[in-house]
Amino acid sequence: MKEINVTTSFTIFDNLKELPKDIQDLMDQAVEIRKKAYAPYSKFRVGAALLLDNGKIITGSNQENAAYPSGLCAERTAIFYAGSAYPEAKIVRMAITAASDNNPTQAPIPPCGSCRQSIAEYEIKQESPIEIYFMGEIGEVYKSASLKNLLPLMFDKKFL
């Protein structure tokens, strides 16, 4: 029997004002699109903003559906649009923010498992890391240098 240890690390910013200006701007766009989320069931709104290597910024918000799980998370909404509209562009970084209509979200909210797998697909496809910044409605912002840092034992096409 063997044991392996997997380590991840994050940079933690106390608030948005500690972020570099360009990251603040990206997170601000995520916050704005979060307000447009369609979340009548969960009352949990998520916004994502992606910076592509061509300078374009793509945003997405979660879109729920009464025929659950037919909806789509904010991260995947943005990623799939970027992949469709700009198939050759690389995703440089992603900003994610979440807020509940019921309770304040002060802890950073990372991508769900389905979103992590989708982000992993693009990180592998483009052969370069995607920086991921995530926060709740207010408070700390976490930075992960890559999706692989969030999901170190990720599933990819080499297993197929």
Residues belonging to the active site: 75
The residue assigned the tokens 């909806």 is 71
103 vs 58: CA distance, rounded Å: 28
36 vs 15: CA distance, rounded Å: 22
Tell me 63's DSSP state: B
116 vs 132: CA distance, rounded Å: 11
116 vs 154: CA distance, rounded Å: 9
Question: What residue type is assigned to position 19 of the chain?
Answer: L
83 vs 87: CA distance, rounded Å: 5
